[in-house]
Amino acid sequence: MFADSVDSDIAPSGTLLGLLQRGRGDGTLHALAAPRAEALAALGRCLRRDPRQDWQLEHRSLYYARLHRDLDAGLDDIEDHLFHPTDLVDTAEERTGLALSVLGHLASYGDRGALLLLRRYVAHGANWQWALDELAVRDDDAGLRSLGPAVLARFPHTPEGEAALAEAVRDAYEPRPWRLWAEDPARPAQARRIDQARERGSFDRWQRQMRPTGPRPGWSVREVLDWARADGSGGDPQRREAAAARCLAAVAGPEDRPELLAAARGGPAAARAAALRHLAERGDPDALDLIETAATEPADPVDDPSGSVARSALSAFSRMRGTAALERARRWARREDGLGAAAAAMLACRGGRGDVGPVLAALRRTVRAEGPDSPALGPLVDGIGRLTVRCATPVLRYVYRETASSQLRGRAARALAATDPSFPAGLAIECLWDCEESTREVAARHATTGDTRVVERLRRLATDPAEEEGVQSAVRGRLGSGGVAR
């Protein structure tokens, strides 16, 4: 009935490894009930090969740290991963970031070995800045001061080394270690060097502000459109399109509308995308027709081989907020193309009860065609919950169980809380162990306390120093009110 996940690196959802990779609450529960060797192997696989679709958005570190602590897993596997010879050549922070974050949480739980391992990695590891950020909020002053010489030794006393040091000081996410090193009375030479790096970083920032680099358009519609299509600028074309649209907002007047309409109808791809975005943002009466044309016509194989104009048109439509856009969405929502998907997403976010049919059809169509990890599912799942479409619960449960995205699973859980009467006594209980804070918060508000595991888990979350405030607030609300079963 449904398409399978295309990510071959994620194990099936019915396996222990698949559950842990997804960060599902059942992963923790199954791991604690499984043979310890099997649970440790699955956990180690997750720490060595980060399973997240987007490591910058999805959470796993606290989830894995809690399981690591409950299994009394030891630190040997993490140490082997961090100090593997690969660390000398693969310096990307994605390789070790998850393991370092897990160590940070373990240190918060009082694991002295995790703290010492982080210190050692700061001194010798490639991703030392991540490890230092973990220590900056957990280690004591003496421990951090002891790392100063090792970190400063990473920067040779050369012009290039001093420039790299100034950049590291300026861009530090957690400034506490650098402040401690600069104030260390036992190492005056170190303090002078960091002070000089700070001065240089401040001067470099001032220079960039006074003398901005990069291309800048002239102050006319024609010059902005020419700048939008200029080659050699580098960077993300969508960001350039957005910048060009902002410039058009500043320079375009009523007399420029004919030129903008002409560019949006048939100009070069980049200029056309910028003009479409500008007209859509201004609610121009011709914008919707121009968007429909751009989104449905074949891409120019020479000027627009990647179809950027169609993508820009759909993006511009998705940002429109007027009544006319909503009415047009109702006309387009049953289409089975990109325009139909964008229209269904708009109805999911802004439509009324009369729009349930197209939104539900789009949800089912997207799951069948693209599987449970489709980026298009997010707004549709949200809309199903907002519109309280109870007949969609089988599809929502499927997305919840199968998606590899913990963010999408959380959205499915919120939709199920609004649509599925069995959610409090079912999936909500599992969600109390989920990797995502927002999902645990939903569970804390809805899980029935008729199950003894729920009360025990709520009490544990309430006293866990690593738990997020939003979750603990929801937990206190349930426990303080007597936790009436639902």
pLDDT at 482: 56
| 341 neighbors 374 (Cβ within 8 angstroms) | no
First-to-last CA distance in the chain? 32
- Taking residues 23-42, what's their average pLDDT? 97
- Taking residues 368-375, what's their average pLDDT? 95
Q: How far apart are CA 240 and CA 261, in angstroms?
A: 19
Least confident among 17-31, 106-120, 449-463: 449-463
484 has pLDDT over 90:
no
pLDDT at 388: 97
- Taking residues 23-32, what's their average pLDDT? 97
Closest CA to 139 of 107, 185, 182: 107
| Geometric angle at alpha carbon 217, from 212 and 218, rounded to 5° | 115
Closest CA to 404 of 395, 392, 393, 412: 412
Closest CA to 66 of 104, 122, 19: 104
User: Side-chain half-sphere of 223: how many Cα atoms within 13 Å?
Assistant: 10
Q: How far apart are CA 119 and CA 102, in angstroms?
A: 14
Residue with more model confidence, 241 or 72? 72
124 has pLDDT over 90:
yes
422: pLDDT confidence band, cut at 50, 70 and 90?
very high
pLDDT at 4: 42
Distances (CA, A) of 418 to 386, 389, 402, 431: 8, 9, 20, 15
Radius of gyration of the CA atoms of the chain, in A: 27
- Taking residues 213-224, what's their average pLDDT? 71
Closest CA to 407 of 356, 365, 442: 442
pLDDT at 106: 97
Q: How far apart are CA 141 and CA 152, in angstroms?
A: 17
Q: Which residues of 307-325 are buried (b: 16+ CB within 10 A; e: fewer)?
A: ebbbbbbbbbbbebeeeeb
Q: How far apart are CA 402 and CA 471, in angstroms?
A: 24
pLDDT at 232: 40
47 has pLDDT over 70:
yes
208 has pLDDT over 70:
no
Q: How far apart are CA 358 and CA 281, in angstroms?
A: 25
Q: How far apart are CA 279 and CA 292, in angstroms?
A: 13
pLDDT at 442: 97
User: What percentage of the chain carries pLDDT values higher than 90?
Assistant: 78
User: What pLDDT digit, counting tens, does each position of 281-305 carry?
Assistant: 999 999 999 999 999 998 888 888 8
User: What percentage of the chain carries pLDDT values higher than 70?
Assistant: 92
Q: Which two tokens stand for residue 477?
A: 């609300």
User: What pLDDT digit, counting tens, does each position of 150-161 carry?
Assistant: 999 999 999 999
Closest CA to 2 of 383, 381, 402: 402
267: pLDDT confidence band, cut at 50, 70 and 90?
confident
218 has pLDDT over 70:
no
229 has pLDDT over 90:
no
- Taking residues 58-67, what's their average pLDDT? 97
- Taking residues 384-388, what's their average pLDDT? 97
| 435 neighbors 63 (Cβ within 8 angstroms) | yes
- Taking residues 112-125, what's their average pLDDT? 97
Q: Which two tokens stand for residue 425?
A: 């006594």
For 142-145, the CB contacts below 8 A with 24+ separation are 143/115, 143/119, 144/176, 144/177, 144/180, 144/181, 145/180, 145/181, 145/184, 145/186
211 has pLDDT over 50:
yes
User: What pLDDT digit, counting tens, does each position of 427-446 carry?
Assistant: 999 999 999 999 999 999 99
